[in-house]
Structure 1
């Protein structure tokens, strides 16, 4: 998410790590190389989060008013299918029930949207004071949300596929200490599924977080991930968007997520401060948030596709 602030059979490990299916898309009717590499978004849209699936459809959230744009990845065409509440839509994930979970940024909330109709199925007040509900992931039968300005995780238990009445607030303790700027941002499960990984944008540190909220800094052997934003896990490979650096870092982790190494960083001329990412077929899709560009109602925006960094395992 902002720093200030969605594979088939080949993605079995990702589906295990994200049991609700939020990052991976389905199969397309066209070869991946024929799919558009750029998706135009409405002027002034200010994109941030992206989720892909079910099927070849991407959902992209607006920081401007929280609207959700649905794009057909086969054609690159789309439209706003769910109007926002006037506050941001940041991190997005879809589950296997055809529901889109949305982190509400400065609105201090989260909502769940029907991916077929755009109807809001549920809304949750997560914070009552200053907040920046930034990103989310699924694991252990729950949706977990970060807050970049308050040292807390928000948990939505998803038992028996039903939406809960309210969220749980889990204070963060241990090594992760909040400072000025944006703190906890992207979030994903650990490779073994027994914890969470959270990147701190302002320090570039990566943390393993127990479900109790206890945090421990991941040993990156002298490396860091400044401007770390959206994250994606495939097996023991972790991808991290470093937004203002216009790169995606590729890390190799141990099973517990307590130690890892940055193997390489991938950039692309199409990048203009990408924020988050999702996958479809053999491509990685990233909305260009353009945080370094003056925002006006006429500012153009897009999402771009690049080949998946390989190998992922």
Structure 2
């Protein structure tokens, strides 16, 4: 059996399952023409899921099932294919280490993670993070490396980066506490590093919750607040967190308290252009949000939507 086809079939099944965890209506296949937010098409993409902020106004986005990487510019409003990756890869969540010119990409059902050079477009490293059934979902970059989530198991993976910008050997961090729970097929999802990487915040889709994680011990704690149904990717700046809620076609802007014990939803960002958004990148007061279109009948084009972050 061809391994690339097997991976894609597994990915399609996982994506369909994620979309159907709680049935909800979705938008039509074609983005509305009367929306006020700018839409940047990913030309030739067969699917979409992840986005990462690059230098300046540059962003990177991925073709979920093919694994290809696009590079775009929010100011110019354009994007193009940047890395045509080998068959058998996927591209889910991603983040950029701008200083070292590295793009870290979660490999979904492959159980892998990839590191690309943003200058040469070459693959710097490939990691088999786990050989068990997995969905490596999202990435957070710290001054010391990158953290990856697994939606099917209560553990994280860390890829260190030395002072020369060279990725090292990956390690596994088993979680304890509430974030370790795996009551459904999609659990840990978005992740963000705060306080210089000394604390991680993770989104848990099945539990509709946010947790803190100690990156040294793996202990986790619940951040008390309203439930966040369909929570997917997250972005954090200071004490503000943006939580993308895919099947609700919205992004909740929440305020974290200083001790990270609780949060309060301050605003809900919507757009007529949202079609099952999954992840976001922050550029000043602008959110660049990817439309994954899970469950949207006849979806054939994929895009990034630029929305007001406030």
Q: TM-score, normalised by structure 1?
A: 0.82
Contact map agreement 1:190 1:257 (CA 8 A) in 2: no
TM superposition shift of 1:307: 1.4
Deviation string, structure 1 residues 27-80 (Cα, Å, up to 9, x no partner): xxxxxxxxx811112345211111122232211011121000111323323321
Once residues 136 and 146 of structure 1 are traced to their aligned partners in structure 2, the CA distance between those partners, rounded to angstroms, is: 7
SS of residue paired to 1:173 = coil
Once residues 142 and 114 of structure 1 are traced to their aligned partners in structure 2, the CA distance between those partners, rounded to angstroms, is: 15
Change (3 A) 1:201 1:256: same
> Where do residues 7-156 of structure 1 align in structure 2 (5 Å cutoff)?
37-85=38-86, 86-95=88-97, 96-139=99-142, 141-156=144-159
1:181 to 180, 185, 194: 185
1:194 to 180, 198, 207: 198
SS of residue paired to 1:160 = coil
Which residue of structure 2 lines up, in the alignment, with residue 8 of structure 1?
Answer: none
Which residue of structure 2 lines up, in the alignment, with residue 228 of structure 1?
Answer: 231
Which residue of structure 1 lines up, in the alignment, with residue 8 of structure 2?
Answer: none
Once residues 164 and 243 of structure 2 are traced to their aligned partners in structure 1, the CA distance between those partners, rounded to angstroms, is: 29
Confirm whether residue 4 of structure 1 aligns to residue 18 of structure 2.
Answer: yes
Deviation string, structure 1 residues 132-183 (Cα, Å, up to 9, x no partner): 0000112351211100001110011223143333200011111221111210
Q: Which moved more, 1:104-113 or 1:258-267?
A: 258-267
Q: Which runs of 4+ in 1 moved over 6 A?
A: none
Once residues 123 and 298 of structure 2 are traced to their aligned partners in structure 1, the CA distance between those partners, rounded to angstroms, is: 28
Once residues 118 and 191 of structure 1 are traced to their aligned partners in structure 2, the CA distance between those partners, rounded to angstroms, is: 30
Q: Number of aligned residue pairs: give it.
A: 276
Once residues 42 and 57 of structure 1 are traced to their aligned partners in structure 2, the CA distance between those partners, rounded to angstroms, is: 16
Contact map agreement 1:272 1:289 (CA 8 A) in 2: yes
TM superposition shift of 1:117: 2.6
Which residue of structure 1 lines up, in the alignment, with residue 222 of structure 2?
Answer: 217
SS of residue paired to 2:153 = coil
1:269 to 251, 269, 272: 272
* Uncovered stretches (5+) of structure 2, i.e. residues with no partner: 1-13, 20-36
Contact map agreement 1:190 1:208 (CA 8 A) in 2: no
Deviation string, structure 1 residues 235-268 (Cα, Å, up to 9, x no partner): 1111110111111111111233222112221111
Deviation string, structure 1 residues 188-242 (Cα, Å, up to 9, x no partner): 124575311111111201111111211111111xx11111111111111111101
> CA RMSD for the aligned pairs?
2.2
Change (3 A) 1:156 1:226: same
Which residue of structure 1 lines up, in the alignment, with residue 242 of structure 2?
Answer: 239
* Uncovered stretches (5+) of structure 1, i.e. residues with no partner: 6-35
Q: TM-score, normalised by structure 2?
A: 0.83
